[in-house]
Amino acid sequence: MVDRKEQRTAGQEDAQTLIGYYRQMALIRRFELTADQMYKRAKIGGYCHLNLGEEASVVGLMTALQPRDYLFTNYRDHGYALARGMSTGAVMAELFGKSTGVSKGRGGSMHMFDTETRMLGGYGIVGGQLPPATGAALALTYRGDPGPEAEAVMCQMGDGTTNIGAFHESLNLAAVWNLPIVYVIINNGLGMATTVEAAAGEPELYKRGCSYRIPGERVDGNDVVAVHDAATRALDRARRERQPFLLELMSSRLRGHSVVDPAQYRSREDVEHAQAADPVPAFRQQLLDSGVLEESLAQQIDTESREAVNAAVAFAEASPDPTPDQLFDYAYATPVPNSPDTLPGHPVTGMP
């Protein structure tokens, strides 16, 4: 665990930067609480995994990532989409399955994607994002030289992902090909209900890069500044030296695995511990205590977050549903003859 005080002196953020972090964390918190409500009102379908409790990690990472960099995440991706700069309305519209959603309503909660902000997908299959992220880093080596201004890739995953083959194959490829990629593990201690200790032969997950000589670091994921600084260092190394890095952020899941999981398998102590460590009120209080933030401004930020999310809901509600005639719009990128385009129960070929 990197000492927080050391990090502070290393990175002396100014007040505006810290307030900016809080603003993003508050927005994600409000967005996710609202998404939970909207799911329960059946405005959102399918699976829905929230970043509640991970706001400091999300914002620390996304403020370290530059606009020129590429991001791949897992399915717990709403906060990343927002912090990466996608519009709150378009992210909510994606949850609502509307044609104005970031993925035009084709992907839903787990599949936020935006070419503009270079978030190349939330991915619903555990580990599925790792090989493509690794390949994106490979592509970067074909179009630029290493250096402080070079592009890099960040690939986020959960703790459970470190047990799947794709994790190990990807890290190995990144090592032998010297790729500019930072793998980030959000370790909230639980893969659904399975603890890290029960699932991982090496539960100190940042050490799992050792087999590939990929250095790792474990950081307090509730400390937005520590996360930002660690991610910045890892990205800088990736840019300058084309060396991969494995960053582990110790975090807590405030709710169940997804919105429908009451998490009855968790002990009262575990839940209380997670709530006590909740990074959003903690960071707010820290900024108030240090005089960086006035209570009035804090309240104003909270109000603005609520208004932004309410506006996003209104936008999503008012947006048009995609229509059945658009069903085959993205069947192929290159149209070819005889591409299937029949609806259920319709003939695939005519009888003359």
Partner 1 sequence: MTDTTYRQALNDALRSELSRDENVLLIGEEIGLFEGSYKITAGLLDEFGPRRVLDTPIAEEGFVGAAVGSAMLGMRPVVEIMTLNFSLIAIDQIVNHAAKIHGMFGGQSSVPMVIRMPGGGGQQLAATHSQNLEVWYAHIPGLKVVAPSSPADAKALLIAAIRDDDPVIFLENLALYNTRGEVPDGDQVAEIGKASIAKEGKHLSVITYSRATTVALEVARQLEEEGISLEVVDLRSLRPLDRETICASVRKTSRAVVLEDDCLSYGIGAEISATLMEGAFDYLDAPVRRVAAAEIPLPYAKPLESAALPTAKDLIRVVRELLAATSFTR
| Whole-angstrom distance, CA of residue 51 vs CA of residue 39 | 15
3-state secondary structure 288-301: HHCCCCCHHHHHHH
Part of the chain binding partner 1 (CB under 8 A), chosen from 18-26, 118-126, 186-194, 230-238: 118-126
Question: Given candidates 36, 169, 261, 270, which one binds partner 1 under the rule CB under 8 A?
Answer: 169
| Whole-angstrom distance, CA of residue 255 vs CA of residue 52 | 7
Determine, following the binding rule CB under 8 A, whether residue 336 of this chain makes contact with partner 1: yes
Query: Nearer Cβ to partner 1, position 1 or 176?
Result: 176
| Whole-angstrom distance, CA of residue 37 vs CA of residue 67 | 32
- Across-strand partners of 158? 186
Determine, following the binding rule CB under 8 A, whether residue 90 of this chain makes contact with partner 1: no
Part of the chain binding partner 1 (CB under 8 A), chosen from 21-29, 53-61, 239-247, 336-344: 336-344
* Side-chain-facing half-sphere of 135: CA atoms under 13 Å: 7
Cα separation values, 313 from 28, 39, 94, Å: 14, 12, 11
Determine, following the binding rule CB under 8 A, whether residue 12 of this chain makes contact with partner 1: no
CB of 83 to partner 1, least distance (A): 19
Determine, following the binding rule CB under 8 A, whether residue 193 of this chain makes contact with partner 1: no
CB of 232 to partner 1, least distance (A): 23
- Across-strand partners of 220? 250
Q: What is the dihedral of CA 278, 281, 286, 288, to 10 degrees?
A: 180
Determine, following the binding rule CB under 8 A, whether residue 323 of this chain makes contact with partner 1: no
Determine, following the binding rule CB under 8 A, whether residue 16 of this chain makes contact with partner 1: no
CB of 49 to partner 1, least distance (A): 17
CB of 138 to partner 1, least distance (A): 5
Determine, following the binding rule CB under 8 A, whether residue 330 of this chain makes contact with partner 1: yes
Contact string 172-191 vs partner 1 (x = CB under 8 A)? xx--x---------------
Closest CA to 126 of 209, 57, 194: 194
Determine, following the binding rule CB under 8 A, whether residue 14 of this chain makes contact with partner 1: no
| DSSP of 105-174 | TSS-TT---BTTTTEEEE-SSTTTTHHHHHHHHHHHTTT---STT---EEEEEEGGGGGSHHHHHHHHHH
Determine, following the binding rule CB under 8 A, whether residue 211 of this chain makes contact with partner 1: no
Closest CA to 170 of 216, 113, 123, 129: 129
Determine, following the binding rule CB under 8 A, whether residue 201 of this chain makes contact with partner 1: no
Determine, following the binding rule CB under 8 A, whether residue 121 of this chain makes contact with partner 1: yes
What's the maximum distance between 2 C-alpha atoms anywhere in the chain? 81
Query: Nearer Cβ to partner 1, position 181 or 292?
Result: 181
Determine, following the binding rule CB under 8 A, whether residue 214 of this chain makes contact with partner 1: no
Residue 260 has which token pair? Answer: 């429908």
Q: Which positions lie near partner 1, rule CB under 8 A?
A: 70, 72, 101-107, 111, 113-115, 120-121, 123, 125, 127-128, 130-140, 142-143, 165-166, 169-170, 172-173, 176, 329-334, 336-340, 347-352
